[in-house]
Amino acid sequence: MFDVYRTSLNNSSRFVIGVSGDRPLHVVGLNPSTATNLKSDTTISKIKTFSSLNGYDGFMVYNLYPKRFTDPNRLPQRIDRNLLQKNVDIIHSCIRATPSRDIWLAWGQTISKRGYLLSCLVDLKNNIDSLEPRWIALGERTLGGHPRHPSRVSYKKSFNAFNLDGYINKLKGST
């Protein structure tokens, strides 16, 4: 089903899942859930449809933190720096390997669940800025100014440029 799939050896972390293409849409969520290389979940199914509707021939889904939980409230209280570095390295490698630099930010309000998720975002941004990504979000922002999660957006919505630097500065100011 998915030809791009990288996890930890025990499958407790997922680094990337997707379908390769000449022009894939890169998507950054918060944390992975149940989708595997053989079975989709609601979020991945919506991402697949959104990417197709918007002219992409593939998609790759990453997360700010790769630990696999269906409930973001169960994310660890403390960050595993080695796991984060591996995540960032894999994301950089995957994006660098494609000509597409469109990166859909898609996590919603849940970024505030753990204080370290903002540092995960900053690390990711700093690591891939040299690739000159085009940061985008779908539809309107949440009331808190966050990019919406795919499950919370109508297929009628379109992608818009997202000011990631402004967003990060706003989050840093509110902590």
pLDDT confidence bin for 175, thresholds 50/70/90? low
Q: Coil, strand or helix: which one is 169?
A: helix
Q: Provide the CB-side half-sphere exposure for 165 (13 A, CA).
A: 4
Per the CB < 8 A criterion, the answer to whether 64 and 121 are in contact is yes
pLDDT digits (tens, 9 = 90+) for 53-90: 999 999 999 999 999 998 999 999 999 999 999 999 99
Give DSSP secondary structure letters for 6-71.
Answer: EE-TTSSBEEEEEE--SSEEEEEESS--S--SS---HHHHHHHHHHHHTT-SEEEEEESS-B--SS
Per the CB < 8 A criterion, the answer to whether 75 and 38 are in contact is no
Average pLDDT over residues 91-108: 97
pLDDT confidence bin for 174, thresholds 50/70/90? confident
pLDDT for 8 beyond 90: yes
pLDDT for 28 beyond 80: yes
Distance separating alpha carbons of residues 83 and 105, to the nearest angstrom: 21
Higher pLDDT, 164 or 1: 164
C-alpha 141, offset from chain centre: 16
pLDDT confidence bin for 152, thresholds 50/70/90? confident
Give DSSP secondary structure letters for 107-155.
Answer: -GGGGGGSTHHHHHHHHHHHHHGGG--EEEEESSPPTTSPPPPGGGS-T
Q: Looking at the whole model, is its pTM more than 0.85?
A: yes
DSSP label of 175: -
pLDDT digits (tens, 9 = 90+) for 115-151: 999 999 999 999 999 999 999 999 999 999 999 999 8
Q: Provide the CB-side half-sphere exposure for 148 (13 A, CA).
A: 18
Structure tokens at 88: 């960032």
pLDDT for res 81: 96
Q: What is the mean pLDDT of the chain?
A: 95
